[in-house]
Structure 1
Amino acid sequence: MPQPPLSLSLQFARFDGVAAHRAALPRHKVLRWVRAALGGDVQAAEITVRIVDADEGRQLNRDFRGKDYATNVLTFDYSGAPVVAADLVLCAPVVAREAAELGKPLAEHYAHLLVHGTLHAQGWDHETSEADAEAMEAQEAAILAALGQPNPYQ
């Protein structure tokens, strides 16, 4: 089955240490990770991935979620299947800190968070119930396994 068309914009804010994040996120890998997370009912997708510093991450989380801290990934979904349109904003310092705490390579953690954010863009939600959280985690693990990545929840 052919894959749906995916328009991807990959953006990096200016911040100290951005080179390490650019190295962990080559465009071809980001395309592969996002595309793998698109469901079978998606006919096309337009996704912007933006890597930001802690200040921008905190401001966006505060302004849009009412939470005054930088979080790892924010998903702004504008339309769901069949044509998915979304912005995924990842906070580089948070992602780097989490990867180090988990003992994971930075790219591996980014892969997980991009899959996670792409699922959110399609309506998946882990905050609605324990059953929804388990279903989303299982979906993430299956997608990552297909990409040759380990289960992030083990």
Structure 2
Amino acid sequence: MTIAERQAREAYDREHPWRHISTFTEDMFGMICELRLSYDREHPWRHISTFTEDMFGMICELRLSYQGMATDQGHRRFFRTNDGWYQIEPPEELWRYAPIIEWRPTGTRLAEHRQRSVIRRAEYGTHEYRGGRLYRKPKSYKLYWRADD
């Protein structure tokens, strides 16, 4: 990491500080943010009480903390709906009782039609097994009968 990259990251950290998950409110629906989770192998339920049900429509970057060591899991983006947290790429649902402890916004929101698309792809999957091999599912097209010209 160069000096300029480090200074840019420090400036970003000052503009977007980490906040406790209880400060997340309903007016932040659809906002892109970063999440920080905490997994304690001995007490996995310890931070579940900080998760509230009013966190809907938010996109987040997942950060995990194992035994007190924060680890960056790449740029996974998430958002919150009534059903739970969904990862955008690849689309899948986040574990319902994930112990989220902190979040920070990035100032961008995800459109509702894109949220619905991610939820549909997470529920139905984007790949399927055919003949023992894994293939990407084709896009869903409108199926209608058309007479020959």
Larger radius of gyration: 2
What's the TM-score, normalizing by structure 1?
0.28
Higher helix residue share: 1
What's the TM-score, normalizing by structure 2?
0.28
